Amino acid sequence: MIVMGIDPGLERVGYGVIDAQKGNRFTLLDYGIVKTPAHTPTVERLAMIETGITQLIEKYHPQEVALEELFFTKNITTGIVVAEARGVIMLTAHKLCGNLFEYTPNQIKQAITGWGGAEKPQIQQMVKFYLKMKDIPKPDDAADALAVAITHAQTGVFGGMFGIR
Amino acid sequence: MIVMGIDPGLERVGYGVIDAQKGNRFTLLDYGIVKTPAHTPTVERLAMIETGITQLIEKYHPQEVALEELFFTKNITTGIVVAEARGVIMLTAHKLCGNLFEYTPNQIKQAITGWGGAEKPQIQQMVKFYLKMKDIPKPDDAADALAVAITHAQTGVFGGMFGIR
């Protein structure tokens, strides 16, 4: 089963595509970011994100798409535009794929490392391990997207489903 | 010139459509809300909002669409889903109309009442006055949408343009 993980953002949308087989065996297919230029009207950046996500879904035909849930802890203003981008990403994935799942940061940490309080480097090491990569995936947004894809493959596809809203 | 004002939300998206002529003469064409049911997955509600806004733009063919900018002061969690809906509304209006403008609550208060600290009842009274309505428009979301449409007609179309991002 092809799973696409997405880490929402306005400047950088991380994506990671894996083929998940039973027994937590994963094949890495692709990862990277959809980047939008600064000093560009927000709505044009939203259009670029829609185009980028559409192209990725049409290329890999994921059966399921998993997104990281958004929490605002630091910067409210940044949070608003990230949520605007997230709405566009959700709707695009829903229209093209139909199977959309969401996971909180804690659910992702728990699924990847077995501990909800894990730090980013531990998660990235585990992503590298699960996907048999030579190096830690870069940038962080792409690593986060792979982490949510693995989370969904572990907990949603072959285990109990949760995280949808 | 046909101007559509939109007050973003997830449960209720307010809209107001006016025909604006020079000299602050306005004809009311339509107002109301796009409503989405509670206890429905967010992404399905986003799809309903996209459909509703699309139908309204295809019906009235506004030359310009004006949105209220979002500020989070009360409930962050509600703010996230409102911003997600707002992203969908922005992109839909951009794709179908192309001319999208945004105004802060203070800009709207200033434009409608001449005072940035005005309260909601004062704004609603002025909306009723400008549009020669018998009663104050209901619900509040629709009144807010008409207010942003009038704001754009006063400040954007015939005056200096501001508010785009």
Strands (E), A75-115: 100-103
CATH class of A2-157: alpha beta
Q: What are phi and psi of B60, to 5 degrees?
A: -105, -10
Q: Which residues of chain B does A101 touch, with a Cβ-Cβ cutoff of 8 Å?
A: none
Contact (CB<8Å) A91/B44? no
In the predicted model, what is the mean pLDDT of residues B12-32? 94
CB under 8 Å to A25, separation ≥6 — which residues? none
- Token duo for residue B57: 């733009």
Put residue A114 in one of left, alpha, beta given phi > 0 → left and psi -120 to 50 → alpha: left
Q: What is the CA radius of gyration of chain A?
A: 15
Report pLDDT digits (tens) over A59-70: 999 999 999 987
Contact (CB<8Å) B83/A79? yes
pLDDT band at B74 (very low <50, low <70, confident <90, very high): low
Sign of CA dihedral B99, B103, B107, B112: positive
Chain B, nearest residue to A73 by Cα = B76
pLDDT at A23: 78
The rounded percent of chain A whose pLDDT value lies above 90 is 79
Cα of B12 to nearest chain A Cα, Å: 16
Interface predicted TM-score of the whole assembly (ipTM), two decimals: 0.87
3-state secondary structure of B29: strand
- Token duo for residue B90: 């922005």
In the predicted model, what is the mean pLDDT of residues B48-60? 98
Q: Check: CB of residue A83 under 8 Å from CB of residue B8.
A: no
The sheet that has B100-103: what strands, in order across it? Answer: B25-35, B12-21, B2-7, B64-68, B100-103
Select from B79, B95, B165 the Cβ nearest to the Cβ of A41: B165
Select from A80, A81, A94 the Cβ nearest to the Cβ of B43: A94
pLDDT at A33: 98
pLDDT at residue B159 tops 50: no
Cα of B6 to nearest chain A Cα, Å: 15
pLDDT at B80: 87
Strands (E), A24-162: 25-35, 64-68, 100-103
Q: Which residues of chain B does A104 touch, with a Cβ-Cβ cutoff of 8 Å?
A: none
Select from B46, B79, B95 the Cβ nearest to the Cβ of A87: B46
Catalytic residue chosen out of the listed positions B11, B30, B64, B68: B68
